[in-house]
Amino acid sequence: MTLHHMSVAELALRLADKSVSSAEITRHLLSRIEAQQGLGAFLQVDAEGATAAALAADQRRAAGDTASLLGIPIAHKDIFVTAGMPTTAGSRILAGYRSPFDATVVARLGAGEAGQPGAGAISLGKLNCDEFAMGSSNENSAYGPVRNPWDRSRVPGGSSGGSAAAVAARLLPAATGTDTGGSIRQPASFTGITGIKPTYGVCSRYGMIAFASSLDQAGPLARSAEDCALLLSAMSGFDARDATSAQRPPQDFAAQMRRPREAASPGKPLAGLRIGLPREFFPDTVAPDVVKAVRHALAELEKLGATLVDVSLPRTELSIPVYYIIAPAEASSNLSRFDGVKFGHRAAVYGDLNDMYKKSRTEGFGAEVKRRIMIGTYVLSHGYYDAYYLQAQKLRRMIADDFQRCFADCDLIAGPVAPSVAWKLGEKGNDPIQTYLADIFTLPASLAGLPGMSLPAGLGAHGMPVGLQLIGNYFAEGQLLHAAHALQQATDWHTQAPAGI
Ligand code: GLN
């Protein structure tokens, strides 16, 4: 097998038995990245830094270092700040911005932080994304769209579109992403790869440029549940610099993924697992090819011993207005820091201070970001706060409670990730509402703060990948990864690659 088809786990084995060096893998992937610039996946490639880091990793290994991801090339969504490379969040307002520090997730996956060694992964660069992670197609990046490697006339999903396209095109074995309302799960689904958004609080948000702070979570995108487990183990864990960080001991998700269930028997690793199917996740509006692929994957889970049970999430539809009030409200507050004074772009010509703010923000932000700032400011304004923001918060709690009622009858919840396969670039360009509506199945878990995964479930219309979504209860990442791994041991959807790769 060629190096770029190998998983993180396979590369780690090869590095450990010294049949390949990090320098070799890095050189190979850098040349692929160079040849695939047309995908638009990378905003920055640090060939020099990565090559030096790979050589250093090989030396450390020769000296006996066994850090879990030592010498494995990855890259970060450009929403994580990095000291070594510029960070833009896909926005013109941050063009040329350099952070003085690394985000916690970046440090933990890489070189480590304040006396604590990191996992030793090597960063090849920064990945394109929707501006401030607002979007579902990566068409909202100020630096151009990302193309779907399965069909370059289609979107890769968003907002972690660069991460998903790079992993699907075998430019990287894995990448980081963030998910506020679906931005890991939906691009993973659109590009036929595996992604997990952990429980809110599992990964530190320190150094992750804030969109909607009560929803934002980091997570890995990779080609298997096993690789997601390896990355998540390294990037998660309590961080005193994030006030919402979960106070839990470090987790070995790969070990949790492999631990057999008590009721398991040969050929039935999922015996005793109850998977709930919310009837609201299978409305007539879901494309038939998506339903077919999802049902096929569910049948495979049944063969492995799981039982399917009917459940209900009655407020699924309401998650769209609720999310599109709460997320813009938080965004309008978070994005007020980009004022031309402290970070990034400042207008060249302006009158007084107010005029400077106005011109800098007008020039720096794209249309979708401006729309959300306006909606957010409106719903938080005196007189409308009770009618919109407060109502949305109450409904958010009810949506979270609905999940808990479901989890009385099942262990995991399953359904589609999105109502259709990836759409054509430009197809929904002028109609933001159409794009918002396509988030219907990812928003509920985000609003509840629950962990969710997207797994490849074969191909649908136009030969495009379809994703199966699995949602777990709080901190049930191990259980999610276990079920996903069992499915991937028995099927080969996750090994399918775009033609010619
Ligand atoms: N598509 C959703 C939005 O535009 C979710 C984005 C995300 O998860 N960052 O807000």
Ligand 1 midpoint to CA 211 (Å): 9
89 ligand 1 Cβ < 6 A: no
The reported pLDDT for the residue numbered 336 is 96
Extract the runs of DSSP E, i.e. beta strands, from 2-158.
42-45, 73-77, 112-113, 116-117, 122-127
In a mutational test of the pocket of ligand 1, which residue from 80, 130, 205 has the highest number of ligand atoms less than 8 Å from its CB?
130
- The span from the CA of 439 to the CA of 162, in Å, is 18
133 ligand 1 Cβ < 6 A: yes
Residue 265 lies in a domain: no
Nearest to 143 by CA among 133, 153, 129: 129
Number of domain units in the chain: 1
CATH number of residue 8's parent domain = 3.90.1300.10
- The span from the CA of 55 to the CA of 71, in Å, is 8
In a mutational test of the pocket of ligand 1, which residue from 78, 80, 136, 322 has the highest number of ligand atoms less than 8 Å from its CB?
136
183 ligand 1 Cβ < 6 A: yes
Which structural domain, as residue segments, surrounds residue 175? 3-257
CA distances from 344 to 90, 92, 280, 374 (A): 12, 8, 43, 21
68 ligand 1 Cβ < 6 A: no
Ligand 1 midpoint to CA 253 (Å): 26
Token pair listed for 399: 């949506």
Ordered alpha helix ranges (H), 184-272: 185-191, 225-235, 253-258
> Is-contact 498 462, C-beta < 8 A?
no
The reported pLDDT for the residue numbered 343 is 83
Ligand 1 midpoint to CA 133 (Å): 6
Nearest to 442 by CA among 217, 284, 223: 217
3-class DSSP state for residue 28? helix
Residue 270 lies in a domain: no
- pLDDT tens track, the chain, 501 positions: 799 999 999 999 999 999 999 999 999 999 999 999 999 999 999 999 999 999 999 999 999 999 999 999 999 999 999 999 999 999 999 998 999 999 999 999 999 998 899 999 999 999 999 999 999 999 999 999 999 999 999 999 999 999 999 999 999 999 999 999 999 999 999 999 999 999 999 999 999 999 999 999 999 999 999 999 999 999 999 999 999 999 999 999 999 999 999 999 999 999 999 999 999 999 999 999 999 999 999 999 999 999 999 999 999 999 999 999 999 999 999 999 999 998 889 999 999 999 999 999 999 999 999 999 999 999 999 999 999 999 999 999 999 999 999 999 999 999 999 999 999 999 997 789 999 999 999 999 999 999 999 999 999 999 999 999 999 999 999 999 999 999 999 999 999 999 988
Residue 73 lies in a domain: yes
Residue 302 lies in a domain: no
Token pair listed for 120: 């030793």
Residue 483 lies in a domain: no
327 ligand 1 Cβ < 6 A: yes
Owner of token pair 């530190």: 204
Residue 479 lies in a domain: no
Question: What's the burial of 353, exposed, middle or buried (CB within 10 Å: 0-12/13-18/19+)?
Answer: exposed
Token pair listed for 152: 């370059």
The reported pLDDT for the residue numbered 429 is 74
Nearest to 58 by CA among 2, 14, 4: 14
How far separated are the first and last CA of the chain, in Å rounded? 12
Residue 438 lies in a domain: no
Residue 119 lies in a domain: yes
| Helix or strand run (H / E) with residue 458 | strand 452-459
Catalytic residues: 77, 159, 183
One-letter amino acid identity for 353?
A: L
In a mutational test of the pocket of ligand 1, which residue from 180, 323, 436 has the highest number of ligand atoms less than 8 Å from its CB?
180
- In terms of residues, how long is the chain? 501
